[in-house]
């Protein structure tokens, strides 16, 4: 068995503790981000997800500055940012991108300051790269309980508000007509998104975290129209990309040109991107078939799952 698999799994893969942690954390985080991401894509809030990722940089840099673990910084920074976005009107579709952008810009400015202060204090600049691009292999076992706790919170929020969130994501007017507190649901969802982005940031780095949030979910929504199966597909794609990325990163240790391994985040994000491109193929084929029928309506992508 092990001989048969040895071309894929470099020696020592299953013995390393760092790999065990990476596989476990990767799967858990991919599950959480897949679930939250489906709603992010349906609500058209990719930019907010991206903003949380980047704002995690601010929190992470702040955490370095005061000397606590970066995950605390990601969480605190994102929750504060969610509050700021909510305050200046991220709920209204009009001007929402602007509100997100302004908060993001100010946050990144702060990150620049924090990193500057940290590097002048410690005369090392490694923090910048660590925070931005992360590495799932570098997660210490002492962070595990916090990761599990945060994941549980996010999943609990998502499951509790699942039905009203789904309805208000698909059709906000209908949701409020049925007496669903759309605003409250939106705030809770934003909180879940902020925490999920923090989890993604600790796994693949702050500025790449969007890949885990958006990629699997967007691919899943292209493959299936039913919400529940989209959630499961997104989680499955995320976990698959994560694990394959970890395997490849482990294998790449002896690859050229430098021989100290390619970054695991690179593999994960590239896999996610390729899966998204491939997931468009079935729809494109359907569209081509529809085009052959003369009376077919102009090829329109179904905007949201029914």
Chain residues that interact with other proteins, rule: CB under 8 A? 41, 44-47, 49-50, 54, 88, 97-98, 100-113, 115-116, 119, 125-126, 128-129, 132-133, 205, 207-208, 210-211, 214-215, 218, 222, 257-258, 260-263, 265-266, 268-270, 272-273, 276, 280, 283-284, 301
Rounded distance between C-alpha atoms, residue 27 and residue 21, angstroms: 10
Give CB contacts under 8 A, 24+ apart, made by 156-161.
Answer: 157/188, 157/189, 157/191, 157/192, 158/35, 158/36, 158/39, 158/192, 161/185, 161/188, 161/189
> How does DSSP classify residue 13?
T
- SS3 for 296? coil
Q: Given the complex with other proteins, which of 132 and 154 has the nearer CB atom?
A: 132
Our CB check for other proteins shows the closer of 49 and 59 to be 49
Q: How far is the CB of 111 from other proteins (least distance, A)?
A: 8
Report the candidate in 194, 183, 185 with the shortest Cα–Cα distance to residue 163: 185
**45 or 168, CB closer to other proteins?**
45
Query: Which residue's CB is nearer to other proteins, number 12 or number 89?
Result: 89
The least CB distance from residue 52 to other proteins, in Å, is 12
Closest distance to other proteins from the beta carbon of 300 (Å): 10
Rounded to a whole number of angstroms, the minimum distance from the CB of residue 31 to other proteins is 19
Residue 98 beta carbon to other proteins: minimum distance, rounded to whole angstroms: 5
3-state secondary structure 144-165: HHHHHHHHHHHHHHHHHCHHHH
């Amino acid at each position: 068995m092990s001989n048969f698999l040895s071309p894929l799994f470099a020696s020592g893969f299953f013995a390393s503790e760092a790999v065990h942690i990476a596989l476990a954390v990767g799967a858990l985080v991919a599950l959480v981000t897949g679930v939250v991401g489906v709603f992010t894509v349906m609500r058209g809030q990719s930019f907010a997800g991206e903003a949380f990722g980047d704002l995690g940089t601010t929190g992470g840099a702040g955490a370095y500055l005061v000397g606590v673990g970066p995950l605390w910084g990601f969480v605190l920074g994102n929750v504060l940012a969610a509050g700021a976005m909510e305050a200046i009107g991220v709920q209204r579709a009009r001007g929402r991108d602007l509100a997100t952008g302004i908060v993001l810009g100010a946050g990144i400015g702060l990150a620049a300051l924090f990193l500057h202060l940290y590097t002048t204090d410690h005369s090392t600049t490694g923090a910048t790269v660590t925070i931005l691009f992360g590495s799932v292999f570098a997660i210490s076992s002492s962070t595990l309980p916090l990761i599990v706790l945060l994941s549980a919170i996010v999943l609990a929020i998502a499951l509790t508000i699942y039905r009203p969130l789904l309805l208000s994501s698909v059709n906000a007017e209908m949701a409020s007509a049925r007496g669903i507190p759309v605003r409250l649901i939106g705030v809770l969802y934003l909180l879940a998104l902020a925490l999920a982005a923090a989890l993604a940031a600790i796994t693949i780095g702050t500025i790449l975290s969007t890949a885990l949030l958006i990629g699997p979910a967007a691919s899943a929504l292209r493959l299936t129209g039913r919400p529940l199966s989209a959630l499961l597909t997104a989680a499955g794609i995320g976990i698959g990309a994560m694990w394959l990325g970890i395997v490849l990163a482990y294998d790449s240790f002896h690859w050229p040109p430098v021989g100290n391994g390619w970054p695991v985040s690179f593999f994960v994000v590239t896999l996610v991107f390729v899966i998204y491109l491939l997931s468009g193929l079935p729809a494109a084929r359907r569209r081509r078939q529809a085009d052959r029928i003369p009376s077919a309506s102009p090829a329109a992508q179904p905007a949201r799952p029914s």
